[in-house]
Amino acid sequence: MYRSRPKGELDRDTLNFLSSMNIDNEIISYDIMGTQAHLVMLYEKGLLEVKPLKKILNELEILLQNPGKINRLGFEDIHEAIETHLVKKLGIEIGGSIQTGRSRNDQVILDVRMKARDELNNIYSKIISLIDSILQKAEQNLGSIMLLYTHLQQAQIGNLSHYLLSYSDQLFRDLDRLYLTYTRINKSPLGSGPVGGSTIPIDRERTAMLLGFDGLVTNSLDATSSRDTIVELMSSLSILMITLSRIAEDLIIWSTQEFDYVELADKCASSSSAMPQKKNPDPLELLRSRTTIVVGNLVTSLALLKALPSGYSRDLQDLKLVFLNSLSIVSSCLTITDIVIGSLIIHKDRMKDAVINSYANSIDIAEQLVMQKGLVFRTAHKIVGSLVEMALSKNNASLSSLSVNEIEAVIKRTSVPIKAKDLLEILEQVTPEKVILLRSSIGSSNPDEQKKVIKSSKIRVQEYSDDIRKRKMLLNNALHNLRQVVISYTNKSS
């Protein structure tokens, strides 16, 4: 179709090598709508007669409803396949006019931006739904005390609600990042031509409006050859996937027999072909590996762009490939995370036992020695550390079960100016079960803090949902109007 200078057909292996047909399926409908908007504009600017306009719009409408009618064999990409289809159906005089004032270079990035904004809106909705599921679980687990870890060693006492909300807060930031990126994605490159614009008096603003864009990527060189906005989006998607992957990793560890804090619902767990007792967290493992792919796709894109000369180069086709791949992975991973968390079984008693059998109240004991007995923190730290050492040597006894004699021995050894009676009083007061209620700093594990966060998060979820609904509605309205314009022009009397 495009071979005006090179003679003959493309070699078959070369054609297959060049072709983006296998992924262009994902952008067909956007490509058709883009062409319809472009034709409407050409007609309105007096650059296309009504007769060919009607014929092409009509044929494109048929393809939009039934993309299977497009012959995909033997083409480099969907743009060529559609134009060839139109030329075959309507003749070169009519079908050959769809590329007036534009090129595949603005066309492909137009399609990618249209696809990206739809996918972004779906991804937002999925993140909001996931946050909602997390908030529900957090509300049900305000009283589920558990250990918090640093270095994967028992650290402080917390509660599951606090843990879960740490992830809803991160997901809100993921949402925020994507929310902002949308404003940069939703700009039209259409009409930029191959690189330097067109001598044909097209109206780029009109096509942008018809397609629901909020303005233009103005500079035609920028519009056709930059992909920073796509990479920005891939970067935000990668950060989002890291959030999901870290949740996955925690749940994988916690569902081991050794931890046994949580259990995947049967509907989410895999089994083993050989070991009948097995209940494996495979969806979570694939969440981890899919994160690797999404991060890899980001790195691929950065590396691909790093030394690309300005202006379109075919390398950008492979960026489209990895970008579309990331969009689809992220979308499915959000669904799976939501299902897994929504149906997660929590072993509250087991988590509580682990708390009771730990020394994770040590820091709180030290703090209370500061608050109630006037010790400086470093000294309190020292004596509590020695108490733990003593308890460990007594067959891992609890701190509050240490005898007065044992405590006196520790005081003597550390020469800390405190009476055994005072120390014992604190040990009895700051038991693992009570400790969480003593926490008073903003954002701590105290359930009262979580209640506040749940309340404000529910409002934020509502605000984001309303915003996304508005965004989706704006797009739908614009594309609905385009459809109306297309129908009215198709029925126009010549």
Binding site for ligand ARG (CB under 6 A): 20, 77, 104-105, 108, 312, 314, 316-317, 320
Shortest Cβ distance from residue 76 to ligand ARG (Å)?
Answer: 6
Using Cβ positions, the residue closest to ligand ARG within the complex turns out to be 77
- Tokens 């949580």 — which residue? 262
Residue 122 or 317 having the CB closest to ligand ARG: 317
- The one catalytic residue in 4, 151, 456, 494 is 151
Distance between CA 32 and CA 61 in Å, rounded?
8
Shortest Cβ distance from residue 316 to ligand ARG (Å)?
Answer: 5
38 a catalytic residue: no
Contacts of 104 (CB under 8 A, 6+ apart): 77, 79, 80, 194
Residue 292 or 310 having the CB closest to ligand ARG: 310
Using a 10 angstrom Cβ sphere, with 0-12 exposed, 13-18 middle and 19 or more buried, the burial of residue 144 is buried
272 a catalytic residue: yes
Residue 81 or 233 having the CB closest to ligand ARG: 81
Shortest Cβ distance from residue 312 to ligand ARG (Å)?
Answer: 6
- Tokens 């965004």 — which residue? 471
Shortest Cβ distance from residue 233 to ligand ARG (Å)?
Answer: 17
Q: Where are the alpha helices (DSSP H) in 218-347?
A: 220-225, 228-254, 282-306, 315-342
- The one catalytic residue in 270, 272, 328, 403 is 272
3-state secondary structure of 76: coil
Residue 103 or 457 having the CB closest to ligand ARG: 103
Residue 271 or 313 having the CB closest to ligand ARG: 313
Residue 62 or 321 having the CB closest to ligand ARG: 321
**360's tokens:** 């994770």
Shortest Cβ distance from residue 38 to ligand ARG (Å)?
Answer: 16
Nearest 5 degrees, angle CA 236-CA 240-CA 245? 145
Side-chain half-sphere exposure of 17, counting CA atoms within 13 A: 6
Contacts of 207 (CB under 8 A, 6+ apart): 34, 37, 38, 40, 41, 188, 190, 191
DSSP label at residue 157: E
Shortest Cβ distance from residue 26 to ligand ARG (Å)?
Answer: 11
Nearest 5 degrees, angle CA 143-CA 242-CA 248? 50
**329's tokens:** 């992975």
Nearest-10 Cα torsion for 103, 106, 110, 113: 150
Residue 26 or 132 having the CB closest to ligand ARG: 26
Shortest Cβ distance from residue 111 to ligand ARG (Å)?
Answer: 9
Cβ atoms of 450 and 138 within 8 Å: the answer is yes
State the catalytic residues.
151, 272
